[in-house]
Structures are given as structure tokens and as C-alpha cells.
Chains A and B, each alone.
Chain A
Amino acid sequence: MKGSLTQSMSWLHTWCGLLLGWMLFAIFLTGTLAVFDKEINWWMQPELSDQALSPAAAANVAQRWLAERHPDETNWNISLPTARAPDLAVSVGERRRGGGGVTHLDPLSGATVEPRETIGGNFFFHFHYTLHLPRTLGVWVVGFAAMAMLVALISGIIIHKKIFKEFFTFRPAKGQRSWLDAHNASAVLLLPFHLMITYTGLAIFFLLYMPAAVNALYDGDRQAYFRDAQSGRAAEQAPRGEGRGSKAVSAPAAPLLPLSEIVGRAEAHYGQGMIGSLAVSNPGRANAQVTARPVLGNRIELSKGEGMVFDGVSGKLIQAPEPSRTSQLTQRVMAGLHFAQFGGYPMRWLYFICGLISCAMIGTGLVLYAVKQRKQAKANAQFLRVVESLNVAVVAGLLLACITLLWANRLLPAELAARQNWELRLFFGVWALSWLHAWLRKPLSAWREQLLAAALLALALPALDLWSAQDTLDVMRLSLLASVASMGLLLGWTVWKIPTVIAARNARSARLDRPAAGASS
């Protein structure tokens, strides 16, 4: 590792990028898909339909149903229909949304609906930051990968001296040179995005990754830190209202206000259609309270858990959200920049495309390593084989596994027991098989076959859905099908291009005895 700065950084970039690149590609691809997690959720539960009912009216439907079935529960949770998740769901007790015990209601009739169990688009979201490992371990592993991404990005800038000139350089169909150009172009073009998305990802779990300051100033008491952070409201704060517990039962009976009123009042603050959920404590009692929580994304700041608390009987506002203090706001805006919940669909698509380009940068970097090694006579053949098969499995195989998950969602019987586990088994099974396939086949054939399979599955998904459709193809589901089919076209084009590129390369190496030197960065 002796030598110039460029040399040491080049070494670091290669190894850091290669060894963590596989994990990073999986993190970035699932993160890119998670931009549309709710839309994928919606597509994966075709039993639910969009009744276009206003949240206020839906709240009343839920209230009627809950008052009938669960008048004695101390906590009701209602998830209201929103633009991205147009279903109405209720649960009682301490369970949060997405756990067991959620009941879906038809927003018009109030009848219960039983959608198929599915891991949904939430799977991509959870995989993105835990890699399907136990949560804490997964968050640490992904954080480690994020640090490696930063190391690779900065060392990449250092070794990339002609950054401006090469930005305008692309030499297609020229083998290694083209891979390098594609890697550089995708890296430089979106450098601010790559840096932003990686750093803000770390900022989300900042106190978990680096608890030093909390340990020093608060003796490790994170709750004390959060209390201090909200001290602005502590002075006038009413006793925190969510009265979860047994003493609630003692309050005298009193009728609960129609929840549509509460929704109306909360919408006056947050804006039309911005209320995502209601939590009612002690319904039917004099000490009833209703917390209205906004959907994420009425601003850049990630305001998770924030809400307005109302008195459930009089409808009086008990507690309004207060603006965060500056330091807190900084962290929350960083988290918000990562979650991309602001700015509506144009912003979502921008993040999605930027995410795909990040994936392309990581993927081309991985391939570039293999292409370079293949040309070196003294390369370690066994190691190269591991690298090439992992490249195929991680890039093409993961794409294939993701599209398989969509197919599994439609093909597995809707009433299958433990259906989510079968979806997971199929996803990871196909992914594992893709590695086996890549190990047994020649790299180039493996690439082509797996990409072709993914392309065909993506292109055929609309046909499958029309065949198994239950007359529920609304705009959101059709858009998803159209997007998946376009991805299929893109993959198909890639597969179709590979032989041309290979022919061009063979022709050139026949002309030249040795591959061109000087492609070292």
C-alpha cells in the first residue's frame, strides 16, 4: 500500500467497492423500489378497492364498526384512506398498523374485507435497512455498508482526476473502456445524490451508530435527550394524553364525538387529505382523547409520530405539534430527504430514477472489476469465478427475485396459510438459485439468461394480472404494471445488446494483440 495518494485510494476504492458493492447494490435496489412501497402494497392486495371516500366519511364508518364490535377497548386505531393507500383499516389495543389484528373495512358499506396476506412493498422497505436480518444487527450492517459507500465515493473522487473532461466522455461498445465510462458518468452525474442519500441514511439512525455524545452529556439516557429536545412544549404540556392503561376504565361514560369532526379540525391544520390515521383512547368515556396523525410528507422534515391531540368528547384541541428546534429540525430534514415523502409523485419518480442510476453505478463498478481481472493473465481464476458469479447473482439474480415476488403474489393461492412465508421462500429461493446458476454457467450466458428471464417475467406481468384480475385494475395498479413492463423492455434491450457488444469486442481484440493500457482509474 505504499505509493502515492492516488495509488492507495485506488486500492481502497477497488476493494471497498468490490467487497461491499454486492451488499450496496441490494440495499440501493430495494431502496429504489421502496420509493413506491405503498403502491406495491396496493397492487399486492387486489381484494382492496379504492372507493374514493373522503377520510372524514371513512372515519365515521370505522367509528360505527368499532363502536359495535369493540365498545370496551381502551384503544382504537384507524388508518384512513389516503392518496397512496386508499384502504380503510382498523385495529384495537396496542397493536400498530401492519401487525396482526388489523381489520380492513370496505369504506362504503363498512363490511369487513379480507385481502390476501402478503409481505407487500413493505418487504423492500424493511430489506433496504435491515437486509432481512434481525433488526438491530441489520441496521448496523447496513450502516457499515453506508460508511463503505462514503469511503468508495470519496476515494473515487480522489482518483478521478479528469472529472470534468470525462463527464462528457462516453465510448460505447468498447469493452472495459465503456464500463469505466459508464461507471464514471453515472457516478459523476449524480454525485450529489449519491452523497446525499448515503449520508442522510446514516443520519436516520445517528444516535444508534454514534452514541458517544449522548453517553457523554446524558449518561446514555436517550429518552432524557429526546425530552430535552422537546422542552419547548414541556411548560404548557397537558399530561400526555394517550392514557393507555387500566385506570382509564374508571371514567364515566360520555359519547364520543363523530370522528369526521376531528378529521375536519386536523385537516384545517395539516391540509386536505393529509390525515393518515387516528388513535382513540378511552372511547365512550369522559376522558376520551383522539390523536390525529398526518401522513408523512406534508413537508420535507420527517415528522414521524407527530400528531394533534383532541378531547374526544368536546373536540377541544389539547395539544398541537410544535415546530422542532433548529438542531432537531436539521436531523429531521436529513431523514426526510432520505425518505422522499415530500413533493408528491414527481419527486418520487426523481428519487426512483436517481436510485436506479446509483444501482447502475454500483453494478458497472462490479462488472468493471471482473472485466479488468479477466484480462490479466495472472489473475486468480478461482477468485474471479466467485466474483463473476456473485455479480450475476446480485445484479441480475436480485432483479429476477424481485419480479418473482410480484408473480408469487398473484400465483400463490390467496387463502394459503402463512402466505407471507411462502412469498419470502420464493424470493430467497430464486435468489439462491440464481447464484447456483451463475456458478455453473459461463458468466456471459448466466448474465443473458437471468436478465432474459427477468425481462420476460416483467413483460408478462400485465398478462398475468389481466388473467387473474378481479376487476380491480385502478390507475395505481395499472401504472405499476406499466412501470414493470417498461423495466422489462429496458432489461430486454440490455439482453439484446449483449451479443453486439461482444462481437465488437472480439473484432477489436483480433486487431490488437493486447488490450489497451492506461485504463487504470
Chain B
Amino acid sequence: MTRSAIQSRSAWPAIAARTALALLGGYAFTYAFTAALARLLPLDPVDAVTAASLLSFVVYLLFMLWAFASASLRRVLVAVGIAIPLAIVGFWPQLMEVLG
């Protein structure tokens, strides 16, 4: 695995895409997830912020592991796309303000 990864230059774009999706896409997903979780947790805002933020590292970790384990890149891309509805949930009041 290691050797083939070094030697087959054609593998590099796929690896780079997956790494970028895992790192950056994963962070975007985690960011939106954390915001949505803090919004939805039935707790005081302070406690919800603390709980959601402390959990965010687990979310990011699992997302990255899954992004590398997943068979197809497209599935990872779809998962990153879920960040959009999550962000809408998390930043609902701010969104309402902007829209009108």
C-alpha cells in the first residue's frame, strides 16, 4: 500500500482530493455540526456551547477516519454537502437577520 502510493504517480490527485476533503471538508462539516448541535441541545446556551465545542473534536476525528475509509470520493463530497443544512440550523437567527 505504502509503496504503491509512492510509486504510482497517477494516485496522487485522488489522494490529494481525499486529503483535502477530509481535512477542509471535515472541518467545515464539524463547524456546521457543532453550531447546529449547540442550537438544538436543550440546555442553557453556555452549557450547550461548552458541550458541543468539546464534542467537536470527536466529530472531526470520526469524519476524517471515515473520509479515508470510504470507498467512493463522491460519498465524502455528499457528506461535506450536509454541512449546508446543518449550518442553516445552527445560524438560523443570523440568517433570518440577513434575509430580512
B30 and A210 form a contact (CB under 8 A):
yes
- Of the candidate stretches A24-32, A216-224, A498-506, the one touching chain B is A216-224
A151 and B47 form a contact (CB under 8 A):
no
Interface residues of A in 331-346 (CB under 8 A from B): 331, 334
Query: Complex Cα distance A15/B43, Å?
Result: 40
Contact of B49 among A214, A330, A372 (CB under 8 A): A214
**Across the interface, which residues of A come within 8 angstroms of B90, CB to CB?**
212, 216
Query: Complex Cα distance A369/B36, Å?
Result: 41
B65 and A9 form a contact (CB under 8 A):
yes
A152 CB to nearest chain B CB (Å): 11
B10 interface contact, C-beta 8 A: no
A395 CB to nearest chain B CB (Å): 21
B32 interface contact, C-beta 8 A: yes
B45 and A212 form a contact (CB under 8 A):
no
A511 interface contact, C-beta 8 A: no
Query: A14-B2, A206-B53, A206-B54 in contact; A228/B37 too (CB < 8 A)?
Result: no
* 0/1 interface trace, chain A 206-242, chain B, CB 8 Å (1 if under): 1101101111111100000100110100000000000
B98 interface contact, C-beta 8 A: no
**Across the interface, which residues of A come within 8 angstroms of B60, CB to CB?**
147, 210
Query: Complex Cα distance A228/B54, Å?
Result: 17
Contact of B68 among A8, A215, A228, A379 (CB under 8 A): A8
Using CB atoms, name the residue of chain B closest to A9. B69
Contact of A5 among B5, B64, B69 (CB under 8 A): B69
**Across the interface, which residues of B come within 8 angstroms of A331, CB to CB?**
50, 54
Query: A11-B1, A216-B90 in contact; A150/B45 too (CB < 8 A)?
Result: no
**Across the interface, which residues of A come within 8 angstroms of B37, CB to CB?**
213
B23 CB to nearest chain A CB (Å): 9
B32 and A10 form a contact (CB under 8 A):
no
**Across the interface, which residues of B come within 8 angstroms of A202, CB to CB?**
57
A3 interface contact, C-beta 8 A: yes
A155 and B54 form a contact (CB under 8 A):
no
Query: Complex Cα distance A206/B50, Å?
Result: 9
* 0/1 interface trace, chain B 13-45, chain A, CB 8 Å (1 if under): 011001000000000001111111111000111
B34 CB to nearest chain A CB (Å): 4
B32 CB to nearest chain A CB (Å): 7
B1 and A7 form a contact (CB under 8 A):
yes
**Across the interface, which residues of B come within 8 angstroms of A147, CB to CB?**
57, 60-61, 64
Query: A229-B46, A330-B50 in contact; A1/B61 too (CB < 8 A)?
Result: no
B79 interface contact, C-beta 8 A: no
A329 CB to nearest chain B CB (Å): 10
A165 interface contact, C-beta 8 A: no
**Across the interface, which residues of B come within 8 angstroms of A5, CB to CB?**
69
Most buried by B among A1, A11, A215, A331: A1
B52 interface contact, C-beta 8 A: yes
A218 and B5 form a contact (CB under 8 A):
no
A217 and B64 form a contact (CB under 8 A):
no
A109 interface contact, C-beta 8 A: no
A210 and B56 form a contact (CB under 8 A):
yes
**Across the interface, which residues of B come within 8 angstroms of A162, CB to CB?**
none
Contact of A217 among B5, B48, B65 (CB under 8 A): B48
Query: Complex Cα distance A239/B11, Å?
Result: 64
B84 CB to nearest chain A CB (Å): 14
Contact of B39 among A2, A9, A216, A376 (CB under 8 A): A216
A65 interface contact, C-beta 8 A: no
Query: Complex Cα distance A331/B65, Å?
Result: 25
A203 CB to nearest chain B CB (Å): 6
* 0/1 interface trace, chain A 1-42, chain B, CB 8 Å (1 if under): 111010111111011000000000000000000000000000
B46 and A225 form a contact (CB under 8 A):
yes
Query: Complex Cα distance A218/B15, Å?
Result: 38
A250 interface contact, C-beta 8 A: no
* 0/1 interface trace, chain A 383-397, chain B, CB 8 Å (1 if under): 100000000000000
A326 interface contact, C-beta 8 A: yes
A327 interface contact, C-beta 8 A: yes
A228 and B50 form a contact (CB under 8 A):
no
Using CB atoms, name the residue of chain A closest to B5. A11
Query: A9-B65, A9-B69, A203-B54 in contact; A378/B3 too (CB < 8 A)?
Result: yes
A380 interface contact, C-beta 8 A: yes
B6 interface contact, C-beta 8 A: yes
A-side interface residues toward B, CB under 8 Å?
Answer: 1-3, 5, 7-12, 14-15, 147, 150-151, 154-155, 158, 199, 202-203, 206-207, 209-210, 212-219, 225, 228-229, 231, 325-328, 330-331, 334, 372, 376, 378-380, 383
B-side interface residues toward A, CB under 8 Å?
Answer: 1-3, 5-7, 11, 14-15, 18, 30-39, 43-54, 56-57, 60-61, 64-65, 68-69, 71, 90-91, 94
The 9 nearest A-B residue pairs measured at CB: A213-B38, A216-B35, A327-B50, A327-B47, A212-B34, A210-B56, A213-B49, A212-B35, A212-B31
Can you list 15 A-B pairs, Cβ within 8 angstroms, ordered by A? A14-B1, A151-B64, A151-B65, A206-B56, A212-B35, A213-B38, A213-B49, A215-B91, A216-B39, A217-B45, A218-B45, A225-B49, A326-B47, A327-B47, A380-B7
Other than the given A1-B18, A212-B32, A217-B45, 16 more pairs (CB < 8 A) read A1-B14, A1-B15, A8-B69, A9-B65, A11-B2, A12-B68, A202-B57, A210-B31, A213-B38, A216-B90, A216-B94, A217-B48, A229-B50, A330-B51, A378-B7, A380-B7
